[in-house]
Structure 1
Amino acid sequence: MRLAALYKSMGNLWNAVDVVDIPGAISPEKLLDCRKTLFGRFYTNPALNFTAFVNTMKKAWRTDKFTCAMLEPGFFSFSFQLEAEKQRVLASGPWSFSSHLLVLKQCEPDTPEFCYDFNHCDFWVNFIGLPYGRVTYDVVEEIASKLGVVVEVKLEEKGNNSYKVGKARVMMPLANPLKTGVLVNLDSKRLLVEFKYERLPYYCYSCGKIGHYVTKCAKIPYKESGLE
């Protein structure tokens, strides 16, 4: 009832002359610009040198064919010359600067830049301890789903033989503690499958959350963590 009343009161704030219709489709040129643009926000708020940050990302991304604009402290737009370069950068993440996680999101033509969700990030996760006979697409996907939304699954050969290991790219909620593994029930035994995260930024070994070190943990004081 309160929500309905709020909507009703808000409706009185607008007159017909205050509504703007934007007809027609977005031009192909503008759509291409959107496809070549990423928005990025640091999950934490580091004090950084903007020039050093951009130069570091050029080296990390192995390209200088983009421009970067700071929309507000810790929030940036990246405009690439080539869509393929943008896609390579987006697919190769996550990325960090001075161990601070930079969350990247694809620009959407009809979404304002301040309406993106930067509380989730894609991580590649390897699964250590999964028996060779169980390394299948479906099994890896099922295990990865315990972490978040599964974006992609890969079965890769290890070395020069046919032995394959599985990993998955998972969109994970950053507010949750990192999971270290899962228990897998087989017909005759139970095994621990451990998670190994790629390109993991700094996080707390005490509470398991990204964004602070164990010495700065507000949930579990350092002296009480047993890690001192």
Structure 2
Amino acid sequence: MEVGSNLFQFKFKSEFELDRVVRGGPWSFDNQVLMLRRWQPRMTAANVKFDSMALWIQIWGAPFDMVSPKVATKIDKRMGDVVEVEKRTGQDTQHLFMRVKVALPTSKPLRRGAFLGSSDGQNTWVHFKYERLPMFCHFCEIMGHDLKNCAQHYASRKNGVEEACQYGEWLKATGGQS
């Protein structure tokens, strides 16, 4: 049911269905992000905010001895609110990357990676891949629009500056879990 401009209310038959839809996102329709929020007391069409989106982030390149939920949480706390951390057993063969679900601010650029410091003072660059990443701009790295609809890219080209895009489809995880 539509309750405002581009604002819809969904009703579910059970808490299980609601949880499956909320946790299973992000969802998209017609290449546009469908952002979902659980209803909260006192929420109205005028005060509901969609300022973050939860995405699973794969963290690649960490030294094997630093692949742990604790390290993954520490890295991703710098990006947004940690929603969930995938916990793997010591026997798991999938120690190539760590997975963390983070509520990322939609107004900030996605990060390509971060430095991971160790107890011996050495820094290691780890790179991020985003699962089920919706449309995003390869120029400014903001979710919700593409390069041809980017005001920053337009302004840059209008001023005669042709900057290369620092981001690309390589930020999207392939073959990962969702």
Q: Could you tell me the TM-score, scaled by structure 1's length?
A: 0.63
Structure number with greater Rg is 1
Gaps of 5+ in 2: 166-178
1:226 aligned to 2:164?
A: yes
2:116 touches 2:126 (CA, 8 Å); kept in 1? yes
Answer yes or no: is 1:111 the counterpart of 2:43. Answer: yes
Task: Give SS of 1:215's match.
Answer: helix
Question: Shift of residue 73 of structure 1?
Answer: 3.6
Task: Sort the Cα spacing of 1:87 and 1:193 in 2 relative to 1 into closer, same or farther, 3 A.
Answer: same
CA contact (8 A) 2:115 2:124 kept: yes
In structure 1, what is the Cα distance between the partners aligned to 2:88 and 2:147? Answer: 34
- Aligned residue runs from structure 1 range 182-193, under 5 A: 182-186=114-118, 187=120, 189-193=122-126
Runs of 5+ unmatched residues, structure 1:
1-68
SS at match of 1:177: coil
Task: Choose which of 183, 188, 210 in structure 1 pairs with 2:143.
Answer: 210
Q: Quote the Cα distance in structure 2 between the aligned partners of 1:137 and 1:226.
A: 35
Aligned pair count?
158
- 1:161-194 Cα offsets, whole Å, 9 max, x none, are 4443421111111011111110112326422111
Secondary structure of the structure 1 residue equivalent to 2:152: coil
* Structure 1 match to 2:83: 151
Q: Is the 8 A contact 1:119 1:174 kept in 2?
A: yes
Percent of aligned positions with the same letter in both sequences? 30
Task: Give SS of 1:219's match.
Answer: helix
Q: Distance in 1 between matches of 2:163 and 2:30?
A: 25
Deviation track 1:101-141 (CA, whole Å, cap 9, x = no partner) reads 11100011332243222111111111011122111121110
Matched-pair contact (CA < 8 Å) for 1:157–1:163:
no
Q: Structure 1 96/163 Cα, relative in aligned 2: closer, same or farther at 3 Å?
A: closer
Which one scores higher on RCO, CA 8 angstroms, separation ≥ 6? 2
Tell me: CA distance 1:163–1:94, structure 2 relative to 1, closer, same or farther (3 Å). closer
Distance 1:153 1:124 in 2: 9
User: Which has the larger share of helix?
Assistant: 1
The alignment's TM-score, normalised by the length of structure 2, stands at 0.79
2:133 alignment counterpart: 200
Question: Equivalent residue for 2:171?
Answer: none
* Residues 3 and 45, structure 2, Cα contact 8 Å, conserved in 1: no
Once the two structures are TM-superposed, the CA of residue 203 in structure 1 deviates from its matched residue by 0.9
Deviation at 1:216, TM superposition (A): 2.1
Question: How large is the Cα RMSD of the aligned pairs?
Answer: 2.1
